[in-house]
Structure 1
Amino acid sequence: MSERIFITGIGTGVGKTISAACVTEALQADYWKPVQTGLLEGTDTDTVGSLLSNNVSVCHPEAWLLQAPASPHLAARLENKNIDIDRIVALSKQYQPRNRALVMEGAGGLLVPINETLSTLDLILALNAKVLVVAQNYLGSINHAMLTARVLQHTGVPVIGWVFNGDYHTNEDDIVRWSGYPKVGRIPQADPVNKAFVQQQAQLLSASLHTLMA
């Protein structure tokens, strides 16, 4: 299964990294976050690597590491850098396993700027990746989820489905129905989030992921 899966969210702080760890574990895929901002809090690559139990997955180094906890274009601007999407695409070909999936994690949502002219959506299109959308219930989340779905539908990006995080709410059933995208699964709140939790959630996601990606 040599697939490219891009994990995006309906916003910031909705659980993309934990979802990425669970999906990576479920598929025994490789993991890659091309652009990491906000280094004072550590990197998502380190977090995912610490949560995987299998001995197959590889966590690849970021293409850009930027200090400011901001959108990639702003964090890069503060360091007088320009994020080159062509370099990200070239590295994705280098990192893509031959017989396994490559799970890539974005920053924030679809229209977060990557550089002065291109967004995360442009990056997804350039990578020719399928999308997993991570959502969480909060005031305004239906609007954010449906805006995300409309943009994906308008551009024709292939979507695997939704991964919901946090406590269950009927809103997620409405989002699935209105968007037409299937529910891959849900990842509950947990404290602590550790290898055992990720392994358990990966097992729960595995069948749905393999079916929807077939």
Structure 2
Amino acid sequence: MQSSPSAQPKRYFVTGIGTDVGKTIVSAILTQALQADYWKPVQAGSLEATDTMRVQSLVSNPTSVFHPEAYRLQLPASPHLAAAQEGLEISMESIQLPQTQNHLIVEGAGGVMVPLNNNELVLDLIVKLNLEVILVSRNYLGSINHTLTSVEVLKSKNIPIAGIIFNGTPNPGTQEFIKGYTQLKMLPAVLEEEEFTPEVVEKYAQLFRKAL
């Protein structure tokens, strides 16, 4: 869905309460829902099967453009360590938003406090890019703490939060507490699926089109 010249494109930074909470699946769903462009600024590890490649394989609309990463690092580790392994230091100046008039989904690396270099975190990148955040939570023991901590850190930098997405097996008690405590918008949940295919992603995209 290309934006008309008068419409402000929606641009979201997808971050998580930790690693492996489902940011890439959520990013694919959001990209499909908005027919948005997609961008992963820093890819660390899995260069033969990157997050960009995975999202591209799950998105079926003809509009989305997949922008190249600013950094493609071999080591599956924190970006600051993966870069150091290659004799590099990630420079915030070299990470610039892609030029597009379309909606844009930006997928972060890990959670908000993941270091990009010795002095700057994913949190600082979100501030630099000036994007609204969608926070992905997953229900596990400790997830309330991790979710509330992530929310407080984002609020400390006055970063707007568009909503929280719970991914995986539902836990109503946990989810209701987080909703009540944070007073944030709860976006549609993403459930466990046998396999995420373009058809399954489109099913969820239909829910998110109404919510965003």
Equivalent residue of 2:110, what SS?
Answer: coil
Q: Which TM-score applies when normalising by structure 1?
A: 0.92
Corresponding residue to 1:64 among 61, 64, 71: 71
Distance 1:188 1:19 in 2: 11
Q: Which TM-score applies when normalising by structure 2?
A: 0.93
Corresponding position of 1:14: 21
Q: Which amino acid is 1:43 matched to?
A: T
Corresponding position of 2:187: 184
Q: Which amino acid is 1:116 matched to?
A: N
Equivalent residue of 2:188, what SS?
Answer: strand
Corresponding residue to 2:10 among 3, 12, 24: 3
Distance 1:2 1:153 in 2: 23
Corresponding position of 1:146: 148
Corresponding residue to 2:95 among 88, 95, 102: 88
Alignment of 1:118-197 (within 5 A): 118-170=120-172, 171-197=174-200
Distance 1:116 1:55 in 2: 40
CA deviation string 1:26-46 (max 9, x = no partner): 011000000000126620000
Q: Structure 1 unaligned segments of length 5 or more: list them.
A: 210-214
Indicate whether 1:45 and 2:52 are aligned: yes
TM-superposed CA distance for 1:110, in Å, is: 0.3
Corresponding residue to 2:41 among 34, 37, 44: 34
CA deviation string 1:42-74 (max 9, x = no partner): 200000000001000011111111111101001
Q: Is the 8 A contact 1:137 1:166 kept in 2?
A: yes
Corresponding residue to 1:203 among 183, 186, 206: 206
Q: Structure 2 unaligned segments of length 5 or more: list them.
A: 1-7
Distance 1:29 1:41 in 2: 24
CA deviation string 1:62-105 (max 9, x = no partner): 1111111101001001111011111112xx1xx2421x211000
TM-superposed CA distance for 1:141, in Å, is: 0.3
Distance 1:161 1:85 in 2: 26
Equivalent residue of 2:95, what SS?
Answer: helix
Indicate whether 1:78 and 2:80 are aligned: no
Indicate whether 1:54 and 2:57 are aligned: no
CA deviation string 1:120-173 (max 9, x = no partner): 000000000000000000010000000001111121101100011011112112
Q: Is the 8 A contact 2:37 2:65 kept in 1?
A: yes
Q: Which amino acid is 2:125 matched to?
A: L
Equivalent residue of 1:186, what SS?
Answer: coil
